[in-house]
Structure 1
């Protein structure tokens, strides 16, 4: 009888958090395949990859890295505040601030893509670095990886914005547990960029 009572009193398993971890594991495998393709290309055409990397806009990439790191800090503080009713509005503001930093990242990325278009760095006819073996593959991987990252980032912005609105209104679904799950997704997006940044912007400049 006491065992049955103890089981009834035990908190239910956090299925939302478990589901997010499983989802992130599948996403890690997906991006891992792209990282493996990059490593293969870098091994076979190191000179072309290095030349192509030096044509990326490292200042914009660095600014975007700072934006994402700052947004992750805001999300971490929001998750810490989410469990207290008196800090509900602060949680909403922090999540909204992180979402705005994500939108700023997207705006800068759009500027960067526009520059690369005008410089002839999109793979295909008229590619500016066609004489360098491997350079076109580098930019193909660059646009695929950063484009997929941008898509995940937009989903994260929508997620943070939704929870910011819910926290501001005091909705029961915007509780600490769900804010933490949303934070896990956002930190994953941040970590992916932290890997992409040195691979795409810095590796070629170190040679």
Structure 2
């Protein structure tokens, strides 16, 4: 994998974006862009949990179906899912059919639904590093976890959340723009001009 790839549009991008059109769109429009809102962040939290052990492009391609069958990740609606919904989801080939992950999303939704509005957003963003070192120049500079992702994982686990390990939480922080790990030379890095901390390869 090259550290940077140049697309047909002449823009240099982080090498993990490759040549896949959906990955390119995700890299350009979402990854590293600040995301707020309890519903949107609950969706990211859920999808990152589903990604564990899989490639992110698999999740991206299945995301429309995930949204459809998980009530667009509205926490109150998902929290009301029962055993019949679990079986319905386990039978749906359009998503990742992993019972433990499905049940974790439903359990996590109940925790979010019990929070005051805006609390999930505030909680997750409270772990965003306030400062950062130099922007990574190569994929080899990236790491799988950070002190911030480990601390966030511990806090979420303390509250009862599942599938929120430190690697998964760092991927969430990258995806939701709590950190900006676009490589030096990437057009998105030049656009944003600042970053928060080093991170993991998207894959």
Query: TM-score normalised to the size of structure 2?
Result: 0.30
Q: Going by fraction, where is helix more abundant, 1 or 2?
A: 1
Query: TM-score normalised to the size of structure 1?
Result: 0.30
Which has more radius of gyration?
1
